[in-house]
């Protein structure tokens, strides 16, 4: 499994401007979210980067990428037909190669020296199969994420054989179909927004679009569920956290996570303590 390509989706109607937002990265340097995502994948040794955008968005995305713009191939999603269609729009770019897939509205903060992308790509290379990053997530967050069920195959590496995939399940559905032995009660393995996928995914998407009466009916989780039935497909808990900056207060939470794991940690902690003390005195 030699991963040389990455695909970043950023064409959703409510997502297209999010990668253009500015944050202060862990190194204390102001960057766009897109630049931070690009540096995440470059750290994994993946330099052929495709970005799925809406028509007409190439200029602002090129500017947001800055010095990394030369590494990008822009792919226009000509119609707003959902995430599965966005991935399928890049079929010519991904070709017959495995690829790393990320969403453009998540940031990743690793708790070890390797980035989250590095961890995932190395796992895929070692296991020689598709691997989706997952995070143990409380059932109250299930409306926001796809989730998987399966069984533990390597405790040291925290990898699981995927047996079922559901999109935004209810707690009842999750309890019935997504139990993973070893997780705390009320927690499920939800997608991290980062996958290493085999070329079979694009083939499956082609099948799904050919079968469906409308492209809007195709959900990307359907492709992942079919992948799990056809070939070895693992989930991996990474040493790190995902931060969705497309939700309410998501950008603030992402900025805090970056700051508290970076060079300005002590300064940020000092400001937070001072702010909390002020609020307590006012109360």
Which residues is 191 bridged to in the sheet? Answer: 134
At residue 91, the pLDDT reads: 97
Tell me the pLDDT tens digit for each residue of 78-105: 998 999 999 999 999 999 999 999 999 9
Q: What phi-psi label fits residue 128: left (phi over 0), alpha (psi between -120 and 50 degrees) or beta?
A: left
The answer to whether the CB of 133 falls within 8 A of the CB of 238 is yes
Residue 137 lies in a domain: no
Tell me the pLDDT tens digit for each residue of 153-166: 998 889 999 999 99
- Structure-block tokens of residue 202: 């694009």
Residue 28 lies in a domain: yes
For residue 20, pLDDT beyond 80:
yes
At residue 217, the pLDDT reads: 79
For residue 16, pLDDT beyond 90:
no
> What is the tally of structural domains in the chain?
1
Residue 165 lies in a domain: no
Residue 60 lies in a domain: yes
At residue 266, the pLDDT reads: 93
Residues near 272 by beta carbon (within 8 Å), at least 6 away in sequence: none
Indicate whether this model's pTM tops 0.85. yes
Output the average pLDDT for the chain.
93
At residue 222, the pLDDT reads: 93
Residue 75 lies in a domain: yes
The answer to whether the CB of 117 falls within 8 A of the CB of 211 is no
Residue 265 lies in a domain: yes
Residue 257 lies in a domain: yes
**What is the domain extent for residue 277?**
5-128+150-158+193-218+230-282
For the ranges 114-123, 168-177, 180-189, 273-282, the one whose mean pLDDT is highest = 114-123
The confidence band for 259, taking pLDDT boundaries of 50, 70 and 90, is very high
At residue 242, the pLDDT reads: 93
The confidence band for 282, taking pLDDT boundaries of 50, 70 and 90, is confident
CA 65 – CA 20 distance, rounded (Å):
9
Q: What is the mean pLDDT of residues 214-227?
A: 89
User: What length does the chain have?
Assistant: 283
At residue 119, the pLDDT reads: 97
The answer to whether the CB of 203 falls within 8 A of the CB of 68 is no
CATH code of the domain covering residue 11: 3.90.550.10
Residues near 229 by beta carbon (within 8 Å), at least 6 away in sequence: none
Residues near 88 by beta carbon (within 8 Å), at least 6 away in sequence: 202, 205, 206, 209
Residue 124 lies in a domain: yes
At residue 212, the pLDDT reads: 86
For residue 283, pLDDT beyond 80:
no
């Amino acid at each position: 499994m030699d991963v040389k390509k990455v695909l970043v989706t950023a064409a959703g109607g409510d997502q297209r401007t999010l990668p253009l937002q500015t944050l202060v990265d862990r190194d204390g340097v102001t960057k766009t979210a897109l630049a931070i995502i690009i540096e995440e994948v470059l750290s994994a040794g993946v330099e052929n980067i495709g970005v799925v955008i809406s028509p007409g968005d190439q200029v602002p995305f090129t500017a947001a990428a800055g010095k990394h713009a030369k590494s990008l191939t822009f792919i226009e999603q000509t119609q707003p037909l959902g995430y599965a269609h966005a991935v399928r729009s890049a079929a010519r770019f991904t070709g017959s190669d495995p690829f790393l897939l990320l969403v453009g509205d998540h940031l990743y903060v690793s708790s070890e020296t390797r980035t989250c992308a590095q961890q995932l790509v190395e796992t895929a290379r070692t296991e020689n199969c598709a691997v989706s990053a997952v995070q143990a997530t409380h059932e109250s967050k299930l409306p926001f994420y796809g989730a998987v069920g399966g069984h533990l195959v390597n405790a040291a590496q925290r990898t699981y054989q995927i047996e079922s995939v559901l999109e935004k399940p209810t707690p009842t559905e999750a309890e019935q179909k997504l139990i993973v032995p070893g997780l705390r009660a009320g927690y499920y393995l939800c997608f991290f927004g980062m996958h290493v996928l085999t070329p079979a995914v694009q083939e499956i998407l082609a099948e799904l679009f050919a079968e469906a009466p409308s492209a809007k009916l195709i959900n990307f989780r359907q492709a992942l569920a079919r992948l799990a039935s056809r070939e070895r497909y693992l989930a991996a808990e990474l040493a790190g956290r995902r931060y969705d900056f497309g939700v309410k207060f998501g950008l603030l939470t992402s900025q805090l996570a970056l700051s508290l794991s970076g060079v300005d940690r002590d300064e940020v902690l000092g400001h937070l303590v001072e702010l909390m003390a002020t609020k307590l005195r006012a109360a």
